[in-house]
Amino acid sequence: MPMPSPSRLHVLGCLAMAASLAACGGGSGPAAGPTPGPAPAPAPAPSPAPSPAPAPSPAPTPAPLAVAPCLPGNGADYQVGPAPGQLAAIDQVPWEKLKAGDTVRIFWRTQPYAGKFMISQKGTAAQPIRVCGVRGPGGERPVVDGNGAKSRAQLAYSNDDAGLGLLHQTRSVVVIKPSGPDDWRWFPEYIQVDGLAIRGATPQNTFTDTHGVLRHYESFGACVWVERGHHIALLDNEISDCTNGIFTKSTDDAIDEGDASQFSVTRDIVIAYNHLHGNGVAGDDHEHNSYVQSVDVTYEFNRYGPLRPGALGSALKDRSVNAVIRYNRIEEGARSLDLVEAEDFPRTALANPAYRQTWVYGNQIAQNGEAGIAIHYGGDHAGAPPGASWGEGIFRKGTLFFFHNTVVIAGTRYPYVFQLSTTEERAQVWNNVIVFRDHPLEAGLRGGQEVGAGYQTGGTIALGRNWISPGWKLNDQYHPLAAPVTGVEQVISGGPLPIELATFTPAPASGAIDSAQAPPAAAAAVKVDWQLLPSGAAAARGIHGAAPDLGAVER
C-alpha cells in the first residue's frame, strides 16, 4: 500500500540542513520558534509503467528536521544586501552560473528588493543550490517584490525569446525551469528557496524584461512557478499578492519520449513553514494560494490565510500523486482542500499506485461554508465521453485518509464537509473534530457535484470515532446520495463544544478528550507526532491522558 516512506521523508531534511552540516544523520525536530524545520520530503515513485507497480510496505514517518540558518554552503556565496561589498540588486546575481553548493543570501533591508529570478541548474543532495533570506533585527524576512522588478539580461528564459521566453518572464517572480540553451530533457534539481517574502506577480504590476521593455504580468502566474524540477524545497517564505501563490506543473512528455527520468514531472516537492495569503484573482475561481501538480509532495506546517478579497479560488488545490497534507492551518477559500485529478499528466499518475491514496492529518481547517464545501476529493472536469483522456476516467478513484483534523465551518445555511466526486471515491474518516459553528439550517457530512452519464456522485465514507456537532445529516434531504456511509454509530455529538474556537485546543471535560481510537490497519504506521501551537510554531504532540484527544491538537 503506498504510504510515506522513510527515504521520502528524509531526503529533503538533509537538503535543508546541507548548507550548514557536513552530513545528515537525523535531527531533534523543529524548535518552537519563527523558523521551524522543513517538511518531510517525498521519495521517488516508480517510473511510469504499463501497469501499476507493487505498492510499498507501510513504513513509519520520521520527524521533520530544522531549517538551517542562512549561511554559506560549500560553493560560492553571493550576497545581496545594503552593506558595502554586497550586490545591490537581485538582477546582479549571476543566476545563470549557479552550481551545486552555491548559496544566494538576500539580506533584509528596510525597503523591498524589486527583483525576480530564474534557477535552472542542478544541485545535489549533499550540495543543494540554496536561495535564502537573512532576517532583519525583528525577524523580518527580506522582501522580493515583482512590481518594478528587472529581469537579468543574461538569463535565457527560452530559446523562443519572443514567445515562451517572454511568457515565462511575465508569469512569475521566481521560476524554476530549464534555460533556453538546455537540452529538452533537462530539469533543475535539489533547489531550496527559504526565508523570503515573495510578492507582486499580478496583472496590474509591471517589470522590465530581458530586452529592457516594460511588461505587465500574466493573469495566470505565481509568486513561485516550478515548471520543471526534482527535489524542490520551498520553506519558511511569506507568499502573497500574486495570482497563484505557488504553482507546479507536470506533463506526460517523458512518457511520450520513453524517458524513465520523468524529466517532465515535478517531483519530490516540499512546501513547509510558509505563510500563503492574499493570492488569487477577484471574481475568478482558477487561481489559488497554492496550485500543485507533482509526484510526491508534502505540505507541512504552513499557514494558509484568506485569499485576495473577492477571489473565488481555493486555499490548497492539488492534482498530485502521493500528496501528504499534514499539520497545516488552512483558512477560507472556496474549498479548503481541492484534491482533484492529474489533469496534465494522467498517464504518469494512473501508472503510479500512490495516485489512489491521499493523506490529510493533523490540520486545523477554518472554512466559510457559504463559500463552498470544505474538502473536495475526486475530480473537477466532468462529462467526458468513454475512453477520453480527461474527465471521470482519470479521477482519483481512491481513498482519502482524513484523521486527527479539526474542522470549523461557519455559515447559517447549508454547509457541508466532504464532496466526493463519484461513487468510486472513498474516504476513511476518524479521530476528527468537526464543528458547525453557527448552528446552520442543515449541517451536512457530504454533498454531491455534477458528473457525466454513467457515473453517480457521492462517494463512500467510513466513519470511525469523530466528534461532530449535533444535528448533522449524511446529506441534504433534496439530494440523496447512493454510496453508503458506515460507522455513524461511532460518532460523538452533544455536550460542551469540544474545542476553544480561538485556538483550536481541546476544551476541558469535552467529548474530544482521551477519545481517539486506534487507526485502521491501512494507516497503522502513520504517526501523528506533531501539531501547530496557537502561535503557529511546531511542537511535538504527546498523549496527556489515557488516549490521544480527537482533533489536530492535544491538550
Classify residue 316 by burial, with Cβ atoms within 10 Å: 0-12, 13-18, 19+. Answer: buried
CA 14 to chain CA centroid, Å, is 20
Taking 50 as the pLDDT cut, the residues of the chain under it are: 1-2, 4-59
**What is the C-alpha to C-alpha distance for residues 516 and 498, in angstroms, rounded to an integer?**
13
The pLDDT tens digits of the residues spanning 490-532 come to: 999 988 899 999 999 999 889 999 999 999 999 999 999 999 9
Residue 368 φ/ψ region, left for φ over 0, alpha for ψ in the -120 to 50 degree band, beta for the rest: beta
Q: Do 324 and 330 touch, CB atoms closer than 8 A?
A: no
CA 376 to chain CA centroid, Å, is 15
416 forms beta bridges with: 444
Q: What is the model's pLDDT at position 30?
A: 41
How is residue 553 written as a grid cell? Answer: 491538537
HSE value, Cβ hemisphere, 13 Å, CA-based, for 242: 30
Q: Do 374 and 336 touch, CB atoms closer than 8 A?
A: yes
**What is the C-alpha to C-alpha distance for residues 332 and 484, in angstroms, rounded to an integer?**
29
* CA-derived radius of gyration, the chain: 23
**What is the C-alpha to C-alpha distance for residues 446 and 419, in angstroms, rounded to an integer?**
5
Q: What is the model's pLDDT at position 46?
A: 30
Q: Which of 248, 298, 243 is nearest to 276 (CA)?
A: 243
**What is the C-alpha to C-alpha distance for residues 282 and 287, in angstroms, rounded to an integer?**
9
Classify residue 213 by burial, with Cβ atoms within 10 Å: 0-12, 13-18, 19+. Answer: exposed
Q: In the sheet that 329-331 helps form, which strands lie side by side, from edge to edge?
A: 113-114, 143-145, 197-199, 238-240, 275-277, 303-304, 329-331, 364-368, 406-410, 433-436, 467-468
Q: Which of 488, 329, 461, 513 is nearest to 408 (CA)?
A: 329
**What is the C-alpha to C-alpha distance for residues 400 and 196, in angstroms, rounded to an integer?**
33
Check residue 55 and report its DSSP letter: P
Q: In the sheet that 290-292 helps form, which strands lie side by side, from edge to edge?
A: 117-119, 172-176, 222-226, 244-248, 290-292, 316-318, 337-339, 375-377, 416-420, 444-446
The pLDDT tens digits of the residues spanning 197-247 come to: 999 999 999 999 999 999 999 999 999 999 999 999 999 999 999 999 999
Strands (E), 287-370: 290-292, 295-300, 303-304, 316-318, 321-326, 329-331, 337-339, 357-361, 364-368
**What is the C-alpha to C-alpha distance for residues 17 and 171, in angstroms, rounded to an integer?**
30
Q: Do 196 and 245 touch, CB atoms closer than 8 A?
A: no
